[in-house]
Amino acid sequence: MTKYDAIVIGAGHNGLITSSYLAKAGKKVLVVDGRTHAGGCASTKVIANGFHISDCAQWVHQLDGAIVKDLSLEMHGLRLGKSKRTLALQANGDHLTIDGDSLSGAGINASDKKAYKEFKSQMRAFAKLMLKLYRTRAPKLVESDRGDKMTLLSLGLGLKMMGRKNRQDMMRLVLINIYDVMNEHFDHDGLKAAVALDAITGTNMGPRSPNTVFTYIHRMVGEALGNRGVAQVMGGMGSLGGALLSSAKTHGVEVRLGEAVTRIIKTDDRVTGVELSSGDVLEATAVVSSADPTTTYRDLLGYRNIEAGQARRVEQYRTRSGTGKLHLALSGLPSFTGVSPEDHSQRLIIAPSMDAMETGLNPIKYKELTSQHVFDISIPSIEDPTLAPAGQHVLTALVHYVPYELKTGWEGVREQLLESLLVQLEVYAPGIRTLIVASEILVPEDFEVSHGVTGGNWHHGELSIDQALMMRPFPGSTQYTGSVEGLYLCGAGSHPGGSLMGLAGKNAAEEILKQGVLS
């Protein structure tokens, strides 16, 4: 029987990144995934004949350029589009344009323009400090590890260099909600809502929820990594997955797609391998899971193989998402009122006000549909015509405040939700309904089934301060090390968290190599 140095569960972006770095270090690595295509949430599918959509992740805005370079992803076919401006659509057709640190339109006043530059400068300073933590394992505060001490020393120096005001503001702001911070800084309701949207994307939270300043800083780490706004992957998100797969194979990684891991095998007091859906049993010195922590511990390892206290932590780990997706195949380019033809290729958002966002959130707390959604819209076929037949287009939208679970269940309700979303869209894009060739609405439950993410959460767990940094995903399973010897985590459920960043995968590989367990 072949024994591997490491078996990586899941061919998502973090799993492939971990496997590539381990293989580059000379280790014998196997990646196994039940899906037939690599990439995880970086995936593309056909919605209708000739129409291709990114069916989970929509934008790239946090991908670490160092990983792109280390793994030669551009040589393997990765191409990113141009950085997008954000157009915050207003009902009167006079829209707010956000271009880097600059604002225009929608009657934005000089005071808000100045305040926005100052706000972004401060948030960027916070994000640069956060990046120090994100590029390494999160340090534990109660142990005397030398590496952790050096990380804490670097963090302390960064805080000192930040200046007194920024240091005080970071301590004050990081645990509070984005609603209060927006009202403290700005007058314009559209601007407040546009910033708040970036704080709640992919979460189950509203602007008034605690931790939303932290989630905004998490998103701003993308700018600290050198990304200016969001961008699309040319060819669809699946091209990122394809580039990562090609790179991994070039580095000697063995990949088995279409075969799911059904069980992580524990022998005596350590993990020794996995069992596949085919019945094959494979041995490894280390099993590295890029699946979310709940799937890893509850479904694959099993609670009987971990301590009762750890099982309780897994059960209490918050994973529910409040984000769905709308996919439309269109016979022509839709016309958003007040948006120039060239600006239809930019990021279009619909978030009228923070109070409207809170109103949209409230029903999903009680497992009910809301009639007020928040949209983050892309028409990627404008910049990349290969995604649709000539003269036709695809539209994808992240839709916020879609419940994971309904009291009535989702059977027969998706059509009702789709109709509600189209009614809301037509306020800004009259006649879009007449262009629809095919449509699809995905709710969090669908992502759980299609992409294997518990709760439909692409962050692999709520990104809040008690489930972040040295607490991610939960005590007893931090710093990429599982609660059983021989088991490691490398997915978005480990530090530093979700989005197509890749640092969780890179950091996990570095930690495994540092520990010397594969020697």
Both 379 and 395 in a single domain?
Answer: yes
Both 298 and 437 in a single domain?
Answer: yes
Q: Which residue has the higher pLDDT, 170 or 431?
A: 431
CA distances from 117 to 168, 186, 205, 516 (A): 19, 11, 26, 46
Res. 160 pLDDT band, cuts 50 70 90: confident
Residues 51-78 have pLDDT tens digits of: 999 999 999 999 999 999 999 999 999 9
**Domain of residue 167, residue span:** 121-224
Interval 350-359 mean pLDDT: 96
Give the Cβ contact number of residue 280 at 10 Å: 13
Worst-scoring range by mean pLDDT, 29-43, 125-139, 236-250, 253-267? 125-139
- Which residue has tokens 């990113």? 80
Last residue in a domain, options 224, 245, 273: 224
pLDDT (0 to 100) of residue 1: 61
Both 257 and 390 in a single domain?
Answer: yes
Cα–Cα distance between 130 and 135 in angstroms, integer? Answer: 9
Are 367 and 406 spatial neighbours (Cβ–Cβ below 8 Å)?
Answer: yes
pTM of the model: 0.96
Interval 150-166 mean pLDDT: 80
Worst-scoring range by mean pLDDT, 156-160, 216-220, 399-403, 501-505? 156-160
Query: Is residue 392 pLDDT above 80, yes or no?
Result: yes
Both 313 and 383 in a single domain?
Answer: yes
CA distances from 384 to 108, 314, 398 (A): 32, 42, 19
Last residue in a domain, options 224, 258, 287: 224
Tell me what the pLDDT averaged over the chain comes to.
95
Both 29 and 109 in a single domain?
Answer: yes
Task: Assign residue 373 the CATH number of its domain.
Answer: 3.50.50.60
Both 113 and 220 in a single domain?
Answer: no
Residues 397-446 have pLDDT tens digits of: 999 999 999 999 999 899 999 999 999 999 999 999 999 999 999 999 99
Q: How many folded domains does the chain comprise? A: 2
Worst-scoring range by mean pLDDT, 47-56, 129-138, 189-198, 252-261? 129-138
Both 71 and 146 in a single domain?
Answer: no
Judge if the upstream peptide bond of residue 385 is cis by omega within 30 degrees of 0.
no
Both 104 and 161 in a single domain?
Answer: no
Both 254 and 197 in a single domain?
Answer: no
Last residue in a domain, options 163, 194, 224: 224
Nearest to 288, CA basis, from 24, 101, 33: 33
The C-alpha R_g of the chain, in whole angstroms, comes to 22
Cα–Cα distance between 336 and 399 in angstroms, integer? Answer: 17
Coil vs helix vs strand at 285: strand
Query: Is residue 519 pLDDT above 80, yes or no?
Result: no
Both 168 and 187 in a single domain?
Answer: yes
CA distances from 130 to 77, 353, 371, 389 (A): 30, 28, 36, 43
Mapped to the 3 state alphabet, what secondary structure does 308-377 carry?
HHHHHHHHHCCCCCCEEEEEEEECCCCCCCCCCHHHHHCEEEECCCHHHHHHHHHHHHCCCCCCCCEEEE
First to last CA, the chain: 20
Both 254 and 188 in a single domain?
Answer: no
Judged on CB neighbours under 10 Å (0-12, 13-18, 19+), 171 is: exposed
Residues 312-330 have pLDDT tens digits of: 999 999 999 999 999 999 9
Are 111 and 186 spatial neighbours (Cβ–Cβ below 8 Å)?
Answer: no
Residue 121 corresponds to which amino acid? S
Res. 144 pLDDT band, cuts 50 70 90: low
Both 41 and 144 in a single domain?
Answer: no
Interval 288-293 mean pLDDT: 98
